[in-house]
Amino acid sequence: KVKVVTCIAPVNIAVIKYWGKSDENLIIPINDSLSGTLSMDFMCAKTTIIASPELQENTFWLNGKEQSFNNKRLTNCLQEVKRLASKSLPHLNWKFSIKSENNFPTAAGLASSAAGYACLVSALAKLYEIEDNVSFIARMGSGSACRSMYGGWVLWCKGSSPDGRDSIAKQIAPASHWPEMRVLILVVNDERKKYSSTDAMKRSVETSELLKYRANQIVPKMTKACIEAIQKKDFEIFAEITMKESNSIHAICQDTYPPCVYLNDTSHTVANAVHAYNEFKSSNKVAYTYDAGPNAVLYLLDSSVDEFMSVINYLFPPQDTAEYYKGLPLSSNQLSQDLKMALNIPVQEPGCLKYIIHTKIGEGPKILTDP
């Protein structure tokens, strides 16, 4: 008699960013945020939990390395799940072994804690037969993880309860609502020291005056407008908000003292190319957004992918073509002379972009095996 649950969970990319906490321990954000959940075809976390009365102790393995339970975020999640579980479950006090893996392309170097905690909490909720919205538990693992608990377009409401019970994620539209939406992840070569979003946003809360204005004045307006744009499938407005929002958090990062600079020259060149392309098309066809790193994530409609990929192919020649494209062939499109002129950006050194992932909006976590 053992219980086995296997679950996969997706990555999400915010268009309205979470940046700053009002409670460090419970992970309560200072502003609402909004994201698209990415399809699990290319990137997902996978977790298997085996619970058995025979096991002597709890173990947790992440990407093949044993982890200690001496981790506040992990123990907060476990404690909340057990609190919600029915006390009459026979396996409630069995020991378990957890194995988690991120199936991200190794070169991608993308944040994985969101998919990882969403996966862990989904698997635990299944094991302990909890049916409620458990996004607030995923949130206690990593803030952005609560948005990976749903597919499609997801709003994380900061909530107002001091215990964080109402700081939860909700789906505002399913993946099927805007099936034309595509996501390109341009993985940038960057050797600089990385600083964690957890530490950086804490420093922003402590030192940036602008952060308060962003959280209280800008984000509420932008969030409302962005939800409307998604509901109406208005790409023009959606793109403008997405880009302004990304620029806003990187301005806050710059206003943080000492500043945390995440974007590099390649990131800026991608943003310039997007603006030049949109201007050439006389409307927004592509939107960029950047998290706590130099990689550009582009939201665009399927009708723009081929032409914009030819812009990227032209500006960022690959060093190693085999490793360069995942999920889409090299664009066969030759860039027109007009468009080259309009871009007015020099061709970059080969290898500035390491890797491109082509994906779309997808579903929420999925249970692969039932206990």
Residues of this chain that bind ligand DP6 (CB under 6 A): 14, 17-18, 27, 33, 111, 113-114, 142-144, 197-198, 291-292
> Residue 17 or 126: which CB sits closer to ligand DP6?
17
**Could you give the CA distance from residue 344 to residue 339 in angstroms, rounded to a whole number?**
9
> Residue 113 or 242: which CB sits closer to ligand DP6?
113
Instruction: Compute the least distance from the CB of residue 123 to ligand DP6, in Å.
Output: 19
Instruction: Compute the least distance from the CB of residue 371 to ligand DP6, in Å.
Output: 28
* The one-letter amino acid at 6: T
Instruction: Compute the least distance from the CB of residue 134 to ligand DP6, in Å.
Output: 16
**Could you give the CA distance from residue 39 to residue 63 in angstroms, rounded to a whole number?**
21
> Residue 97 or 198: which CB sits closer to ligand DP6?
198
Contact by Cβ (8 Å): 222, 203: no
Going by C-beta distance under 8 Å and a sequence separation of 6 or more, which residues neighbour residue 83?
Answer: none
Instruction: Compute the least distance from the CB of residue 147 to ligand DP6, in Å.
Output: 7
> Residue 166 or 323: which CB sits closer to ligand DP6?
166
Instruction: Compute the least distance from the CB of residue 158 to ligand DP6, in Å.
Output: 12
Instruction: Compute the least distance from the CB of residue 269 to ligand DP6, in Å.
Output: 21
> Residue 143 or 365: which CB sits closer to ligand DP6?
143
How far are the Cα atoms of 42, 105, 326, 345 from residue 108, in angstroms, in the given order? Answer: 11, 5, 11, 25
> Residue 30 or 124: which CB sits closer to ligand DP6?
30
With CB atoms as reference, the residue minimizing the distance to ligand DP6 is 143
How far are the Cα atoms of 180, 181, 236, 285 from residue 303, in angstroms, in the given order? Answer: 8, 9, 14, 9
**21-23 and 65-67 beta bridge pairing:** unpaired
> Residue 49 or 292: which CB sits closer to ligand DP6?
292
DSSP output for 30-73: SS-EEEEEBPTTT--EEEEEEEETT--S-EEEETTEEE-S--HH
Contact by Cβ (8 Å): 3, 52: yes
How far are the Cα atoms of 9, 95, 124, 367 from residue 3, in angstroms, in the given order? Answer: 20, 11, 11, 14
Nearest to 168 by CA among 143, 193, 191: 143
Instruction: Compute the least distance from the CB of residue 198 to ligand DP6, in Å.
Output: 3
